[in-house]
Structure formats: structure tokens, C-alpha cells
Amino acid sequence: MAALLLSAGRLAAQVTESPITVAPGHFLLKMDAVSLKFEDQADAPVGTRYSAVGVGATFLTTGLTEHVDLQVGLELFLRARLKTTGGTTTNSGVGDLYVRPKWTFWSDAGLQAEAAVMPWVKLPTSSGGVGNHAAEGGIIVPWSMALDRGYRAGAMAEWALVRNDAENGYDSRW
């Protein structure tokens, strides 16, 4: 699933993406029932605490060709709370929309291994003050390979341009 981006930080129940595409004409629905994040703010005054909950982060994927699929994702409900010595701020609403095409550019039947490239864009569709109201994007490169006894190994690299904390530009993140 995609990381859930919130204005006060990242709520990320990140798992490794798969390079395997959905078959043409078929659909795959993935949903994180609940995602949680709790953290003390290291760069903020003592006692500052951030917490967030995401419910129903959903991706619908459809196969376009044997090696290309398209994913559309939506964060169905987000709630973010920032507690400081001056009080507590809570925001909740619908999250942002994600669009992610995936192309499996390498496959080795002998090794049962694959690699793909997934450019993605986040469209600022959030409500209730839970998003950063900025378009963001990046690229994910997932890889997987079959191991003995039915197990698979997987890894991925991701580069993204995300809105900076000052909201006056973008930061590059690996």
C-alpha cells in the first residue's frame, strides 16, 4: 500500500510493492483496514506528540496488458492529532488520490524473478485539513524472486518529491 501522507508527518504502513502485474481484464482490490502512527516530535518543543489513524486506504488495480497495470488509490478516512503544551489540534477527513501505472520491464522464467517500474502521483483531493494540499510524485522500482519451498524474496527502491514542511517547495526523498 502507499504511505498515507498527512500534513504533520507520514503515516506509513509500508510494505514492499510487487513487480507482478494483474492480468488484463482482471481487477485486484487491496485495502489496509487500519494504519496507526504515534511519534514524539523530535524537532518540536518537549511534550509535542503526533498521532494519526488511517482507515480503509484502498488501491484498485486493473491489468491493461500482460506487463502493464494501473492502480488508483484513495485514503477513505484519516484522522491526525497534534498535541502540544498549548493545546491539541485534531483534523479528520478523506485523504488524497493516488495514480500508479506499473510496467514489469524484466522477467526471468528460470529464476522466477521480476522487476518493474511504477511512477506515481498524488493528487491533492483531501478534505478536513488532513492533507498538505500539494501534488506529489515519485517512482518505485520493485523486484522479487522465488526462493525454495514456496517463499519469495522482495525488495524495492523509491524516490519521491514531497512537499516540504515550510510549504514553500519540495524535498527529494529516497
pLDDT by residue (tens digit) across 119-164? 999 999 999 988 889 999 999 999 999 998 888 899 999 999 999 8
148 in Cβ contact with 163 (< 8 Å): no
Q: What pLDDT is attached to residue 6?
A: 35
What is the 3 state secondary structure string of the chain? CCCEEECCEEECCCCCCCCCCCCECCEEEEEEEEEEEEEECCCCCCCCEEEEEEEEEEEEEEECCCCEEEEEEEEEEEEEEEEECCEEEEEEECCCEEEEEEEEEEEECCCCEEEEEEEEEEECCCCCCCCCCCCEEEEEEEEEEECHHHCEEEEEEEEEEEECCCCCCEEEEC
Q: What is the pTM of this model?
A: 0.81
Quick one: CA dihedral 19, 22, 23, 25, positive or negative?
negative
pLDDT tens figures, 61-83: 999 999 999 999 999 999 999 88
CA distance 97 to 3: 12
- pLDDT on residue 4: 32
pLDDT at 55 over 60: yes
pLDDT at 13 over 50: no
Q: Which of 74, 62, 61, 67 is nearest to 19 (CA)?
A: 67
C-alpha distances in Å from residue 127, one per residue of 64, 91, 96:
31, 9, 8
Report pLDDT for 82: 87
Task: Determine the pLDDT at residue 59.
Answer: 94
Answer whether 78's CB lies under 8 Å from 92's CB. yes
Give Cα separations from 40 to 85, 87, 89 (angstroms): 13, 15, 15
